[in-house]
Amino acid sequence: MTNATAVPRYPLTMIRLHWLTFVLVVLAYVFMEFREIFDRGSPGREFMKAAHYSLGLAILGLTLVRLFIKLAGPAAPAISPPPTPWQQTAAKLGHIAIYMFLIAMPLVGWATLSAEGDPVLFFGLEIPALVGPDKVLSGKLEEFHEIGGTIGYVLLGGHALLSIIHHAVFKDTTLIRMMPQRRA
Ligand code: HEM
Ligand code: HEM
């Protein structure tokens, strides 16, 4: 039985960044997946798309900050009881894949809009285009972004499921380490 108050956790900044990213990613998906409730070209649909772009760009910024803090900070706290070496390697590879997703998806989305010749707005502020106008490239990038979105469902769904399995089945401290500590 684990004494939850004695579990070594991730630093609070990393915990906050993790759950903030979680909320932003869910919202970015929701705004894009439900854009079709509004007619094409309507203000509602344009708002949903603009929200998707701004949230996605915020995810990119937060992820770069998070990686910097992670690489400059202490190693992740140990899990108890410890997973086998292959599980630890698989988890590391899974996390690298998620970081790549969080960086590549916004960059590809940003490049898609740039290639489309559309202005790219971050909460109303125009940011530079990543590439020049090119309709063929924009179509390819959009396809790539769409495939990335589907991969994200599998990657993040698997990640969340495994965290819950660690907690509920293996009964180890994997998930508790990523939860803020309650005040005594
Ligand atoms: C982690 C961040 C992001 C995720 C998970 C994500 C995910 C998605 C998903 C699931 C779709 C719908 C694909 C479909 O049609 O089935 C989509 C569409 C799109 N996203 Fe993103 N995206 C992200 C960031 C961005 C950013 C930062 C931009 C641009 C600045 C962007 C631009 C676009 C564009 C242009 C489309 C197509 C819109 C349309 O069909 O009207 N995305 N994205
Ligand atoms: C959009 C959704 C999510 C994203 C983008 C995400 C991203 C990440 C990333 C990048 C890490 C690696 C942290 C590090 O640098 O060490 C991580 C760790 C973790 N995440 Fe998530 N996560 C998401 C959702 C969830 C959910 C829903 C749960 C729980 C049900 C969860 C539980 C955990 C746990 C327990 C860890 C620590 C795992 C370990 O150190 O082995 N995550 N997450």
Distance 106 CA to ligand 1 centre (A): 8
* 174 in a structural domain: yes
pLDDT by residue (tens digit) across 21-54? Answer: 999 999 999 999 999 999 999 999 999 999 999 9
Report whether residue 29 contacts ligand 1, using a CB cutoff of 6 Å.
yes
In three-state secondary structure terms, 122 is: strand
Task: Identify which ligand lies nearest to the alpha carbon of 79.
Answer: 2
Cα–Cα distance between 132 and 91 in angstroms, integer? 38
Q: Yes or no: say if 9 and 77 are a contact pair by the CB < 8 Å rule.
A: yes
* 183 in a structural domain: no
Report whether residue 110 contacts ligand 1, using a CB cutoff of 6 Å.
yes
Does the global pTM surpass 0.75?
A: yes
Domain that residue 21 falls in: 4-178
Report whether residue 91 contacts ligand 2, using a CB cutoff of 6 Å.
yes
pLDDT by residue (tens digit) across 102-150? Answer: 999 999 999 999 999 999 999 999 999 999 999 999 999 999 999 999 9
* 95 in a structural domain: yes
**Residue 34: CATH number of its domain:** 1.20.950.20
* 20 in a structural domain: yes
